[in-house]
């Protein structure tokens, strides 16, 4: 499964407004209001926040990947957002975060969920890719960056 198969342009926020981790997560989850793939939005939201309480998903280098598994979704869904002003996400490297990728999967889709988390992490580990995302101004531009990066990834993998 590819990232661009689950990430939609309509689920990308080029300029998140949240000033705290909880606000940013809620802003991304709210993109799924009235989305037919979501059975229960508040359950999805709670699953992401509960996972975040266990351990911060701020993985470092200005990037966070809040995620959860819950049966409140019908399939794996994703959203991405960028902050103009980095925020404290209690990241592992103690650096503020400006790039946030939300991934929520069904309880029984553990394999694809873990593979997607791994793929996203590998892509976001590349300095030039993160820098390009930080400079992108529109949802379409951000989506194309993911699409192009994923193509390079598959050509070299």
Which sequence positions are flagged as catalytic? 67
CB 54 within 8 A of CB 69: no
What is the Cα–Cα distance from 104 to 120, expressed in whole angstroms?
13
Tokens representing residue 37 in the block:
């793939």
CB distance 24 to 63 below 8 Å: no
* Residue 66 backbone dihedrals phi, psi, to 5 degrees: -60, 135
First to last CA, the chain: 14
Q: How far is 78 from 148, CA to CA, in rounded Å?
A: 18
Burial class (CB in 10 A: 0-12, 13-18, 19+), 155: exposed
């Amino acid at each position: 499964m590819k990232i661009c198969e689950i990430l939609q342009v309509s689920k990308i926020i080029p300029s998140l407004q949240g000033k705290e981790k909880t606000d940013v997560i809620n802003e991304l989850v709210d993109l799924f209001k009235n989305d037919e793939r979501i059975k229960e939005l508040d359950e999805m939201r709670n699953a992401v926040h509960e996972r975040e309480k266990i351990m911060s998903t701020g993985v470092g280098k200005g990037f966070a990947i809040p995620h959860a598994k819950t049966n409140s979704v019908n399939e794996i869904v994703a959203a991405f957002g960028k902050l103009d002003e980095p925020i404290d996400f209690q990241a592992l490297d103690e650096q503020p975060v400006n790039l946030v990728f939300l991934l929520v999967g069904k309880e029984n889709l553990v394999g694809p969920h873990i593979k997607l988390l791994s793929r996203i992490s590998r892509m976001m580990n590349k300095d030039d890719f993160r820098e390009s995302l930080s400079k992108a101004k529109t949802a379409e531009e951000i989506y194309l960056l993911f699409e192009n990066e994923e193509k390079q990834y598959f050509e070299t993998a």
